[in-house]
Amino acid sequence: MEVTMQKMTSVIYLANASSPHVRHWIEFLDEMNMPYHIYSIHKNTFFSDDKVTVKYNFLTRFGGGGAILAYFFLGLWLRFFTRKSILHAHNTSGYGLSALLSGKPYIVTTYGTEIFGADKRSSLYRLLINKVLSKAKKITTTSQQMEQVLVSKFHINSKNILTFGMGVSQHFSFSNDKREKVRAKLDIPSDALVWIYNRRIMPLYNTIEVVQAFKKYSKDRPNTYLILMAGDHQASYTQLVKNELENSSNIFLVEGFLDPKDMSAYLSASDISISVPNSDQLSSSILEAIACGCYPILANLPAYDEILEYVTCLSIDRSNLVRGFEQSANQVLEQNSQLRSQLLEQYKATPWSRETVIALLNQVYAQ
């Protein structure tokens, strides 16, 4: 069944054109036949050139200060050179600044770290976040915890907040054929236990700590493997991760951006997924893994409580990652394929179906 917007209005996305998160949103807009264009200070990885305009990317070579200037100039450019459209900024501190400076009505999709960690940043940073949020026409979040923080700490009217998870791409589903092909490609035995960390390699996600814990766990367990997905990684931190991987034949690092079909193949090849960041919202990466039948290890973050209500998960303290590997292995070995089947059925009953998400997106973009 074809799904369309209630009112055909063009959306201007202010977003990282190399972000899987943004790609996921755009997939829904395509399904809804919603016209859009992306303005980005980041290079375009996923979209056709006619859908993306990259502005001031050269400034990002100068680090954080250069990126701030790029966001600033993008906002001024939007003020003078764009027609009336719906502006949708994907993050508050960067593209939210561009939206604020544009002088046009805008929507903001908040990211977990910039909001949850705002009280640890400078007073200027907090002032910027406050200003962007207070001027937004609507705000979208993916967790009740985020909504509570926006209301209690930033004094945002709850009527302006829409909270919902984005579900997953239709390409994410378990495939035994893909499972066998990926395992053969990596030379992983069919009866081996495989963990996958399908979050970006950067300090926020504690990738090094996960690798170190897995090395301790797998030292005397030869039939265990870990797959790391680099994604939109932090280069300097990734090099530290690579240093940790020296002489580790049972840990694989998959670099580059994968399309949903390829990502689904790696998830199908795995038994257990990992998500242990310092802070987070309800991440689509977790849902993608569950949709492919992976048993999730999750940090005991309030943002993940909603997942625990619907899906069998292992909630752990980040300080005891080795124990997390032990417990998850025991659970998978005890239940074998029954656990995967159970997870796939549980996901079908969650509130993150495509029909639900599209109905909520109609609310986001309604005039």
Q: What is the mean pLDDT of residues 312-326?
A: 96
**What's the pLDDT band for 147 if we cut at 50, 70, 90?**
very high
Residues spanned by CATH 3.40.50.2000 within the chain?
Answer: 11-167+353-365, 176-348
User: Which pLDDT belongs to residue 1?
Assistant: 42
pTM for the full predicted model:
0.69
User: Which pLDDT belongs to residue 367?
Assistant: 74
Checking if the pLDDT of 212 tops 70, the result is yes
**What's the pLDDT band for 8 if we cut at 50, 70, 90?**
low
CA distance 198 to 207: 10
Structure tokens that stand for 148 in this block = 């509570």
Q: What is the CATH code for 176-348?
A: 3.40.50.2000
Checking if the pLDDT of 49 tops 70, the result is yes
pLDDT greater at residue 45 or residue 282? 45
CA distance 3 to 214: 44
Q: What is the mean pLDDT of the chain?
A: 92
pLDDT tens, position by position, 154-169: 999 999 999 988 888 8
Task: Determine how many CB atoms are found less than 10 A away from the CB of residue 139.
Answer: 25
CA distance 312 to 335: 12
User: Which pLDDT belongs to residue 118?
Assistant: 86
What size, in residues, is the chain? 367
Q: What is the mean pLDDT of residues 16-25?
A: 90
- May I ask the CATH class of domain 11-167+353-365? alpha beta
User: Which pLDDT belongs to residue 3?
Assistant: 47
Distance of CA 250 to the CA centre of its chain: 26
User: Which pLDDT belongs to residue 364?
Assistant: 93
